[in-house]
A and B are shown apart, each in its own frame.
Chain A
Amino acid sequence: MNVFTLSWRYLWSRPLATLLNLLLLSLGLASMAFVLIAQDQIDRAFERDLAGIDVVVGAKGSPLQLILAGVFHLDVPPGNIPLAEVRALQQHPQVAQLIPLSLGDNLQGFRIVGTTPDYPAHYGATLAQGALWAQPMDAVLGAQVARATGLMVGQAFVGAHGLGTGGAVHGDSRYAVTGVLAPCGCVLDRLLLTATESVWRVHDDMHASDDMDEEDRAAIEADREVTLALIRYRSPIAALSFPRFVNDSTALQAAAPAMEITRLLGMVGVGTRVLRGLGAVLLGVAALSVFIALWSAVRERRADLAMLRMLGAPPWKVGALLLCESFWLAVLACGLGLLAAHGLTALLGGMLMAEQSLAVTGWQWVATEVWVPVLALGVALVAALVPALGAYRVDVMSLLNSRSYP
């Protein structure tokens, strides 16, 4: 029997109050931890997809929309841009790499992206099966797409028009699956990749009619478009001049993803602050409740505590019993709270995945989480301080004075 085991026994001698306090404390800690974990996971998901993309060029419109559409594939793109202008940008001295993306079709809500092999290479994607596309109408599936659709290498599918489910089906244009990517935890997981020419061919077929002559085909060829282009600079200095050059002297728009995402997270930040405030209020209530429980425990057990002093326990030992009881609560609540917060994040990740949105995993340790145990122990200490002092100063004489004692 020591301070830890004895305080544990005292703690569970009042099971209802203990469970209630445990619940309150766990809820407060869980909401704090959830904000920390979810924020970190979302930041991380954005950062992963953003890595190495200095600027996105697309049609004029909202820069945030362009980023959400082009980098994260969450929003619809503002429009298409002429291939000729993209080719011109590719020759620009400040551009190190340009990856064109053509959007427009989907398979069960997963976007079919026409691009170059540079795109999977940019994210360091590796193939789990098969090979990259070798010719138009070959397609490579992201890991999540393969899992959700059940398609395998060698099978064929037809895309649907539009970026959401329910568009008209391109019945005549069949894609052949040539490969499946290994999971990368990035945006590629929920995309189908193909050659830029595939997207053109699908739409040529849609608009083509049998009485088109060579001249019409040549006109279509000249009007080739892509949706947007991801650009990596040769040197960081380009960030100062290149977007202005694009925005002022071409019909295109350039948007810096890092800046737009900072702006977006700033807008969402109000929500996380509210959630964090709510967590703080819950923690405050929990601290008060633990304090009340311990205080009434000291009152109820004053005779027990005085008896301990009579049996020769020094005052610090009696005070430590109360502190320890509170710390037990904190340790238990910390474990439960973190478990709940990670479970909730995993649930959020599952929901986002079902909506074909950001890749968020719940079961990843986040560095800022160390604050949760610190917070728990702090709350326990504050709540137990006065009761522990009461226990420290318990009046042993009250044992001898039977009239003052019920």
Chain B
Amino acid sequence: MIRTRGLAYAYPRGQALRFDDVAVPQGGTLLLRGASGSGKSTWLALAAGLLTAAEGELVVADQAPASLAGGARDAWRARCVGFLPQRLHLSDALTVADNLALAHFAAGLPVDRSAIAQALAALELGALAARRPHQLSGGQAQRVALARAVLLRPRVILADEPTASLDDVACAAAIGLLRRSAQGCGATLVIATHDARVRQALPEGQVLAFGERVGEVGA
């Protein structure tokens, strides 16, 4: 569940971004659409509790991240938010399985090897558990990053440009996996994208359009 009302963010240099209100039920899909640099990343960062809004209200998974202090906000993010970055950011120093274990480590939880095996198996990655990320194909690496994002069964999955530089077939497969994974753990799925194919693949999703900057905060 994600709900915003009158949300606005002020950059340190005074530029301001206002966001349209959204209300997405738990398990729903939200597409952030717009060209790069239009504020999608800022919205994602607000939703992940990495930035704090200047105005308005943002509730993600029954929690307003802005109301949590630093440590509690980190713990909340570990528990409730799964993140699929555009560049995946898998660590080459670790095996595929240990890259997933990083999620446990970061959340301060004991490593649950059976949960890792399950998450990998669900994305048909079981045979690759002992490999290093640089030994994987692009599609395999994205599935590993997705497995890491859903490992702790988050309430919200934030995906940043998951289909950039994918061909049509791979794009459809990636969107399908994302949707199935989100459904698998009942998570709300948020996809930031400038790719029209994503909209076509997910017609049921709400759309938050970016592109116009709307006035100064407080004006």
Contacts and interface: CB of A to CB of B under 8 A. Distances in A.
Given A313-B78, A397-B50, A308 B106 contact: yes
A314 B78 CA distance: 10
A403 B160 CA distance: 13
Contacts of A315: 70, 74
A312 interface: yes
B86 A402 contact: yes
Contact of A1 (B71, B79, B105): B105
Nearest to A402: B86
A397 B45 contact: yes
Interface centre among A309, A399, A401, A402, by most chain B C-beta atoms within 10 angstroms, is A399
B41 A1 contact: no
Interface string A306-330: 1111111111010000000000000
B89 interface: yes
- Main SS of chain A's interface residues? helix
Interface in A1-49: 1-2, 6, 9-10, 13
A312 B79 contact: yes
Given A9-B98, A397-B50, A310 B83 contact: yes
A367 interface: no
A311 B161 contact: no
Contacts of A1: 98, 101-102, 104-105, 111
Contact of A311 (B36, B86, B106): B106
B89 A303 contact: yes
18 contacts: A6-B102, A301-B93, A303-B87, A306-B89, A307-B91, A309-B106, A311-B106, A312-B75, A312-B78, A312-B103, A313-B78, A313-B107, A317-B108, A397-B41, A399-B87, A400-B45, A400-B85, A402-B86
Interface of B: 36-37, 41, 44-45, 48, 50-51, 70-71, 74-79, 81, 83, 85-87, 89, 91-94, 98, 101-108, 111, 148, 160-161
Given A306-B89, A307-B85, A310-B77, 13 more contacts: A6-B102, A13-B92, A307-B89, A307-B102, A310-B48, A311-B77, A311-B78, A311-B83, A311-B103, A313-B107, A313-B108, A399-B83, A399-B87
